[in-house]
Amino acid sequence: MLALILTILSAPLLLLAAALLKLSSRGPLLSRRESAGLGGKRFHLYGLRLSAGETPAGRIETFVERWRLHTLPRLWNVLRGEMFFVGPRAERPEFVEALTERIPFYRQRQRVKPGLTGWAQINMPSDKPEDTLRRLEYDLYYLKNRSRGLDTYILLHTLRELLVSRGA
């Protein structure tokens, strides 16, 4: 129900972001990436396409990215029941397979649906491949201590970072 309310409330922001991106670049507006969800089930993760660059279009995309407007289509994934608001980050199936072979307990992340935000995301905002083990530690901590209180903390922290730090 919350996802539906947020989808309706964020529709003007989504339209603004889509219009800005469409005016600043060519090509498809919506991106779709195959991801592994609960139990390894594959689904398409939606978002607005960003191409980045040091152009006027790049500045628009930086604005859209800073405010995380490009992730608003992921509310559709929540509405479809493929994701939760809070959980481990959605990963590409080929990464999951490769990391499962190399890292013990990596598959445990798939015991819950991926989330729009999560314990690892708020504690390790960088996305470097060498941080995979550390992010896994945060994900396993989340799985072990999952509760409404922890979910609320993660959501409030994410909202605070978005508003106070302007998405930085």
pLDDT tens, 20-63? 888 877 788 899 999 999 999 999 999 998 875 555 666 777 88
CA of 154: how far to CAs of 68, 97, 146, 150, 151, in Å? 16, 27, 11, 6, 5
Strand runs labelled E in the chain: 30-36, 42-48, 84-86, 115-117
pLDDT of residue 168: 43
Measured in degrees and rounded to the nearest 5, phi and psi for residue 118 equal -165, 175
More confident residue, 140 or 166: 140
Give the integer Cα–Cα distance in Å for 27 and 143.
39
Range of the domain at 77: 2-164
Closest C-alpha among 1, 60, 78, 72 to residue 31: 72
Closest C-alpha among 107, 167, 168 to residue 139: 107
Place of tokens 């978002």: 47
**Confidence (pTM):** 0.86
Closest C-alpha among 119, 166, 121, 114 to residue 147: 119
pLDDT of residue 52: 59
Total domains in the chain come to: 1
pLDDT tens profile 91-144: 999 999 999 999 989 999 999 999 999 999 999 977 777 788 899 999 999 999
